[in-house]
Structure 1
Amino acid sequence: MKLIPKKFLGFWVIVVVAIISLVFFLTKDANKSLITIASGENKFFVNFDLKTKDQKNLSKILENLQIPQNSQEDLSFELDSTSSASLAHLIPIKVNPIISTKSISFSGTVSHSPFIEKLSPKRIKVPQDFNLAVFAPNVLDFVTTRNLYPENLVNWLKNNFSPTSGQYLIIFGKNAQFALIVEKTEIDLSSLKSIELSDQSETSYKEEVRADTIFYLMNIISSEGKSEAVTFFQQENWVVFASSREAAFKIADSLQSKNSTDFPSFNFDSDSNFLLFFTNKQGEQLSESFINLISRQNSGIANPNLQKILREVEEINFALKATRFSGLISLK
């Protein structure tokens, strides 16, 4: 079985900006004035001008998160070459935040739109225990670079899950299961049985019926040598690729409004290019599987500041339309 190498693709840089912006706001800057992200010497720099009230609120947040106050000085970061090129295209990024001791709302602009696609996102039903939901032109690459799927399966996904209407990625459950959802009226999911997996038996494909819905299961061997049954199904105009049989059943139930909630649950423009919602409910703890998935490494060696901050965050929402964006970060 030929494997697809892991690499960090430029399309996902906007998610990185959204999450890294959280780190910026909680370790560097949050004010009613102007924050500017600029580039130079193969690095990105965050320049800011804090108002007195916002400086006091920020200091309180840093104290609660046990982050040194001097982290507000000389903030810079680096990205891989692909993501750096994508982010550099958006420079300068200008942010106008408003900060309290428990939340940060912000709005701003980028110099160019990161997406050329004109999309029309819709509000969909997702599992109540989701941690991250994203709508974007392409989230498939995020999935395939974090899971070493057989090349033939990846090619099938690219040929069948690339609609012009955008894609949804939902990460949910204690084991960070995920589902990729697209709106598509015509697709032949039975064509999955023609995919050849050279090092697996002919029984790698099967179909299963549950509540009048046909589920198409592909048994594959993961990069860790474990057997996984990635699962596909169609429900009305929604086509779903799920990380497991159980994940597919849960998404199918949520699309029928069973144990579900809305995404997006916040207000958004009907022609938004990118929507993100992260939630970490009070009294709950982010799973190590979730940290591993979004950071692409074991939680034991993942950025400790990222882990600490995300576990203290209750909610992030972020919306981008052309060159303008807005969002909210709420702390526990």
Structure 2
Amino acid sequence: MASQASTIAIAGAGSIGCYVGGCLALAGRKVVFLGRGRLVGAMRQGGLRVSDLDGRDRRIEAQAISATDDPPTALYEADIILVTVKSGATGEMAKLIAAHGRPDAVVVSLQNGVDNADRLRAGLPGRRVLTGMVMFNVVQSPDELPFRVHRASQGEVMIDDGVDGLAGLLDADGLAVEVRADMKAVQWSKLLMNLNNALVALSDLPLARQLADRRWRAILAGQIDEALAAMSSAGVAPARITGLPPSLLPKVLRLPDWLFGLLARRMLAIDAEARSSMWDDLKRGRPTEIDELQGAVIGLGKQTGIPTPINERVTALVRQAETEKRGPPGLGPDEVSAIPGKV
């Protein structure tokens, strides 16, 4: 059972981890951040600033923050471990938790993709691992002091049911938490929208500007069409997590700009600062999560015999940008949509 006295470890103090952990710390929870030396150093030096598009702008002073790059220090006494590392680091984090975390600690995956909680379970046999999903966008300003994380879109955190008091412990000002009994379906539904992460990265456009352009939305719609076809063939039913049923997303995305703007106000309630984590990865020359997003669609398509040419094209372009290490390439929609007539 989780209680207000529980110690919460943020296993991966990046954009999402610092926002979630920052909101929890501001609400009086006992939080320890486990991250890379650069971000840990920034928090130790100047503290943490947590803001959002609803107007909150709060600060935690450096002396009030517990932040470390030493896994044993962060994990040893944690009652709750929130895993917020990128998908490529999930296996490594599972090993660290197995080595240094308490056997009775509750582990919650707050990661993109559909397989990370399962990977954690495989690496942590016999331990309680819950699936979670962060439904909002967070951007960071790493060169500012204090280090700033900013929630740039609406949304909540969704988690598995099963641990008494956990939702109440994690629910805080600026961080709404919802318990769901269908988290696998939620993961697949979130993946549909996350297919846009790559388009933001390839276009080098802010998310709001990119979504306001029907040509880019048409490419996203094409990717979602392929994903829905593969999911249907595999018997996967995505959950309804926005105002629209997932099956209607491609039709709405293809609407004229003016009509889309009227019907998709919640989708467009995005701060002008918002980009995508994949854009940030290309900007910093880091590997992206393309294999966990478009790659999941391509893999499911191969299993079910459903063609996925648009997702394959987008994946190839992201991998090319990863290899070139020149940052987001700034492509136009015509350069990305190399499947004439499909989008």
Say whether the fold is shared (TM-score over 0.5): no
Higher strand share: 1
Whose Rg is larger? 1
**Higher relative contact order by CA 8 Å / sep ≥ 6: 1 or 2?**
1
Q: TM-score, normalised by structure 2?
A: 0.24
